[in-house]
Amino acid sequence: MVRQFAAWGLGFSTLLFAAPAAAQQGDRCKDVPSHGELRKALSAAQAQANGGLGFHMWATVVDRDGIVCAVAFTGQDRGDQWPGSRPVSAQKAHTANAFSLPKFALSTANLFAPVQPGGSLYGLQHSAPVNTAAAYEGPAAQYGTPKDPLTGNSMGGINVFGGGLALYEAGGRLVGALGVSGDTSCADHIIAWKTRHALNLDNVPGGVAGDAKDNIIHDITIEAGRSTSKGGYGHPTCSEQSTKIAGELMKSHPAGPDR
């Protein structure tokens, strides 16, 4: 009888403390897209011409504290896109959130040049380790579903190539970030940009790209085996087509208060 009561008591206490935790998760994620909204916008963006390989994609959304709120993919099953891109997408979301401000956004694409040897942010990519326990927690069958084990955890990590963008609501408030991975880094950026636009969370106030906000900047030249970015925030080109598409994003999918 005592054992039964103890077992019942343990179950009751677990239920008692689990309910507020679930409610807290719902409250913290109220300003960012749900799993269904993310998957719909991501799938529509991935289906377009993006200058990449045309692969299926992973995407992760985090809140302003860097806590994962949703993870989604575009394929029919989790194996239809690179498995390794799931944690990378979360890392990109964490990075874009961590280095964007209410009045100034930095995309992960903007961080490529500054972290190279001699760059103004050299070493930044080693400053925040990945939460490997969260990244590879199972069951794998739940990856990319509303029950993805990453949800409610902080991924950590710093990613320095295209695919991570801060999220700004219509009123201009910074509410978190989006990370997309699964194709070339340039296509990742383009797909993330189109996904953010579809979600109406691209009220970007400004960034290092000037009027182009936090768009990818293709101004890197290679001399004597060393890459140099003219403006200091450049990203390598991936294909002629992706460079052209990226350069037209502010016309095709404008970001900012004047969109």
pLDDT exceeds cutoff 60 at 7 = no
The one-letter amino acid code at 90 reads: A
User: What percent of the chain has pLDDT above 70?
Assistant: 89
Output the pLDDT for position 15: 32
The two most distant CA atoms of the chain are separated, in Å, by 79
> What does pTM read for this prediction?
0.89
Q: What is the pLDDT of residues 229-245, one digit of tens each?
A: 999 999 999 999 999 99
Is residue 87 within 8 A of residue 131, CB to CB? The reply is: no
Output the pLDDT for position 25: 60
Stretch 219-237: mean pLDDT, rounded?
88
pLDDT exceeds cutoff 70 at 26 = no
Q: Is 53 helix (H, G, I), strand (E, B) or coil?
A: coil
* Planar angle of CA 256, 258, 259, nearest 5 degrees: 70
The domain made up of 31-252 has a fold known as Beta-Lactamase (3.30.450)
Domain spans, the chain: 1-29, 31-252
Reported confidence tier of residue 117, pLDDT bands at 50, 70, 90: confident
Stretch 142-161: mean pLDDT, rounded?
96
Q: What is the pLDDT of residues 50-109, one digit of tens each?
A: 999 999 999 999 999 999 999 999 999 999 999 999 999 999 999 999 999 999 999 999
Distance between CA atoms of residues 57 and 32, nearest Å: 19
Q: What is the pLDDT of residues 35-54, one digit of tens each?
A: 999 999 999 999 999 999 99
pLDDT exceeds cutoff 60 at 17 = no
Q: Is 74 helix (H, G, I), strand (E, B) or coil?
A: coil
Q: Is 3 helix (H, G, I), strand (E, B) or coil?
A: helix
Q: Is 167 helix (H, G, I), strand (E, B) or coil?
A: strand
* Planar angle of CA 172, 68, 208, nearest 5 degrees: 40
Residue from 192, 168, 190 nearest 180 by CA: 192
For strands 68-73 and 58-63, give the pairing. Answer: antiparallel
Stretch 162-181: mean pLDDT, rounded?
96
Structure tokens at 47: 């289906």
Output the pLDDT for position 94: 98
Average pLDDT, the chain: 89
Distance between CA atoms of residues 177 and 179, nearest Å: 7
Output the pLDDT for position 1: 41
